[in-house]
Structure 1
Amino acid sequence: MNPFRLPLRLGVVSCLLLCSFPAEAQSTQARPRARDLGITFGGQSGPNNAITDVSGVEVGHTTLISGDTRGPRGKGAVRTGVTAVLPRGKNGVSEDVFAAIYALNGNGEMTGSHWLTESGQLAGPVMLTNTNDVGTVRDSVIAWAMKRGLEWELGLPIVAETWDGLLNDIYGFHVKATHAHRALDSARSGPVAEGSVGGGTGMVCHSFKAGIGTASRKLPESEGGYTVGVLLQCNYGARHLFTVEGVPVGEEINDLRPCYTGPKKPSPGMFKDVPPCSASRGDTQPRTPEGAGSIIVVVATDAPLLPHQLERLAKRVPLGIGKMGGLGGNSSGDIFVAFSTQRLKPPAGTAVASVSTLDNERMTPLFEATIQATQEAILNSMLASDTMTGAEGSRVFGLPQERLIQVMKKHGRLTTAAPAP
């Protein structure tokens, strides 16, 4: 038994209906993150190595784990949730930030994106959930805003999704308004829970269990001293393409593929070739439709960037995904939003705000930081996720840390001491 996996497993088992992880539960990671294992992707992280290293940003999760893994569709295993990212925290939730969106491949949804692109500004939170519950979460943000007299300011919420229908009984529409409100109300600064939490609870990345991941980079003072933070919901990618710092990890660890534990195959048609778990551990052939998922990435920075510069930043996210083995496949929704926390409000009684803009000649270090943090956040989302059994007995294995370390050492890419898994 892997001792780093035990705390998370116990926590999941104890969640009979609703698991919500507020700030106090976010302070301890259940197992080592990429950087703890000596895998850094370059650059210097912030103190929490999280999107919350950008001052003012808060994150909250509501995690839903319940139900019968053998239950029928609509009444089966619930493996889903909601994640909220608040650029200025709850106290400044209605104050706009400059923002931009970029889609590598658009087989996905991000509500409110048209006005964000038109105005170059974002008000309110960025919410992450599963595909079928986007509408509920969108409406719930407006209801949450109404209680605070902010229904006008937050009238077009940003809600993004990835599809968790292998592990989650997605057609049960299990996310309710109270779950979105809980994620918003529990949002905090500081360390951020990763893996099978919030919107990432039922997600799969490169055919390993994954979910929410985060990382940050702090530039040296000579390059402005700015912070870039990334938070993502990871649900994309084929196993054979999975690469870590140039090492073909997916080729080296080509077993432990998704399978099913029940008496019959999961009902979604795309999983008709999923093998039974009794035969899958040594099966090196992909038997599920790999690369059919999606990834949503939120990039935050305190650098003074205008909307067109933030779009440039968002366009660098795919370079980090590509380094990990992502292709932006035909049925993948790869959508990214970037924002800057510089203040936009004009002085009281005036209509003109004075804002700053970083010289474009100084942006390259921010591009590098975004690419590095994206890679690390993807791996963190996988390392934090334990093996999970979900809807109709479907099972997805966690990335085995001890084998990852062995593969990295084999290829000469792990030179620092790493704890024994």
Structure 2
Amino acid sequence: MIRPFSFSCVPVLFWSLAISSLALAQNNSPTKPKPRARDLGVPFDGPPGPLNAITDVSGVTVGHTTLIFGEGRLQVGKGPVRTGVTAVLPRGKDSMTNPVFAGWWSLNGNGEMTGTTWVEESGFLEGPVMITNTHSVGVVRDAVIQWRVNHGQPDPTGYWWSLPIVAETWDGWLNDINGFHVKPEHALHAIDSAASGPLEEGNVGGGTGMVCNGFKGGIGTASRKLDAKDGGYTVGILVQCNYGRRPDLRIAGVPVGREIPDGVPYAGTSFANDDHGSIIVVVATDTPLVAHQLKRLARRVSLGLGRNGSISGNGSGDIFIAFSTANSGAAAVDHVVDLKMLPNDKLGPVFAATVQATEEAIINAMIAAETMTGIENHKVIALPHDKLREVLKKYNRLAP
């Protein structure tokens, strides 16, 4: 089954093992919204945007392709499959032709985000940010270039080149990761289906087979709206979370992982007690920031992880990228461009919003994720909502 999700009423693709082609079906019945962290009484700092999502930043669109089929014993190349692709487009379909200022940061580099050396050098992000599983980075990267060739401006000389941003986390506990099930059409579909509006979270897109703090992880999002006195800007976060140990998990300052010790995955493995896995974080803002300021913003993601108990272990690839949708046209090649830039002395509220929204996006991913069984009947349980509320109440941290 391939499930593209950007918002509630969307086309749905179904995968059939007996048929090699993809069949497209229309689903017009609205899905019941999943509860989010705030709905369960988890307290957070800072006011969110209307959607509490990265798409609160005007122009940003997100698309997913979700691959789920097969069960039981692992047969490499056949499944079971629990994986997918997520696409974040800073300026929607104009992302290829109108780059954004960007900066990136690696808290711990046991992971991959392609194209970042050119982001570092040029200060610009051209095209989407793609997120998938560790062994599908190459095919997704090539698909992004194919998408640009198919949809971009004519290139009669053939001199055009591209260094796409593709990031990854490892889903090999649940997914046949060595079966290479992500194909170019899946990446293309994630880009083409990208939309604004409310976003699906949890077991979706690149986050389908991910594990976070010993519970089911995946895709999560959140946003913050700055006060008018601070410019009224918006900061949005999208995470693909696949990191952390159960004992380290803290929610609203409460040691939730220690209070809910049952059902930890990876039993019998050499890495059962390690902080391994990864997290990819995308930061979007309409604040007028330039490249070096966005690198500083990307660094602040680390503090949001710390609020939730992360120590960024040796086996974790914790890589973040931040971009600004302000200064449209700044990458013009044939004339001098005038820019707007928030003074460095005014960055404090933007930093705070980034930390706060990162913290919440991770918890939203875990709240939305559902229990999943994958290869070899490996089972990863979802964070139990009732027990979470009980623990927060025990520590007097349950919001009314």
Report the TM-score when normalising by structure 1.
0.86
**Aligned position for 2:367:** 383
Distance 2:333 2:264 in 1: 61
User: 2-side partners of 1:71 and 1:216: how far apart?
Assistant: 39
Q: Which 5+ residue runs of structure 2 have no aligned equivalent?
A: 11-29
Which residue of 259, 272, 275 corresponds with 1:252? 259
2:120 aligned with 1:117, yes or no? yes
- Residues 311-353 of structure 1 deviation map (CA, whole Å, 9 limit, x = unaligned): 1111110101011011111011000000000124269995111
SS, match of residue 88 in structure 2:
strand
Shift of 1:36: 1.3
Asked whether 1:81 is paired with 2:81, we answer no
SS at match of 2:62: strand
One-letter code aligned to 1:365? P
**Shift of residue 76, structure 1, vs aligned partner:** 2.0
Q: Distance in 2 between matches of 1:337 and 1:126?
A: 9
Identify the match of residue 277 of structure 2 among 287, 290, 293: 293
The corresponding residue for 2:98 is 95
Structure 2 match to 1:334: 318
- Alignment partners' CA distance in 1, 2:333 and 2:55: 32
Look up the SS of the partner of 1:293 in the other structure.
strand
The two structures, once aligned, show a CA RMSD in angstroms of 1.9
Say if 1:318 and 1:92 are closer, same or farther in 2 by CA, change over 3 A.
closer
Residue 325 in 1 paired to residue 306 in 2? no
- Provide the identity percentage: 58
Structure 1 residue 67 displacement after superposition: 1.7
Shift in alpha-carbon separation, 1:154–1:395, aligned structure 2, 3 A: farther
Cα distance in 1 for residues equivalent to 2:118 and 2:333: 26
After TM superposition, the score normalised by the length of structure 2 is: 0.90
User: Which of 234, 242, 266 is residue 235 of structure 1 equivalent to?
Assistant: 242
User: Quick one: distance in 1 between partners of 2:86 and 2:248?
Assistant: 28
Mapping of residues 14-413 of structure 1, within 5 Å: 17-25=1-9, 30-150=33-153, 155-258=162-265, 273=268, 288-345=272-329, 351-413=335-397
C-alpha contact 2:99 2:331 (8 A) present in aligned 1: no
Note closer, same or farther for the CA distance 1:347–1:399 as it changes in structure 2 (3 Å cut). closer
Which AA in structure 1 matches 2:268? D
Task: Provide, for residues 102-130 of structure 1, a one-character-per-residue CA deviation record: whole Å limited to 9, x for no partner.
Answer: 00000100011110110000010000000
Give the structure 2 partner of residue 5 of structure 1. Answer: none
Contact 1:232–1:377 (CA<8 Å) still a contact in 2? yes
Shift in CA distance, 389/154, structure 1 to aligned 2, threshold 3 Å = farther
Query: 2: CA distance between counterparts of 1:21 and 1:154?
Result: 30
CA separation of 1:412/1:192 partners in 2, compared to 1, >3 Å: closer, same or farther? Answer: same
Q: 2:297 and 2:182 mapped to 1: Cα distance? A: 32
With over 3 angstroms needed to count, the CA separation of the structure-2 counterparts of 1:31 and 1:106, relative to structure 1, is same
Structure 1: 5+ residue stretches without partners: 1-16, 259-270, 275-285, 417-421
Amino acid at match of 2:263: L
How many equivalent residue pairs?
A: 377
Hey, what's the Cα distance between the residues in 1 that align with 2:319 and 2:47? 26
Cα-to-partner distance string for 1:163-196 (whole Å, 9 max, x where unaligned)? 0000001000100001001100100001011000
Aligned residues of 2:43 and 2:399 also touching (Cα < 8 A)? no
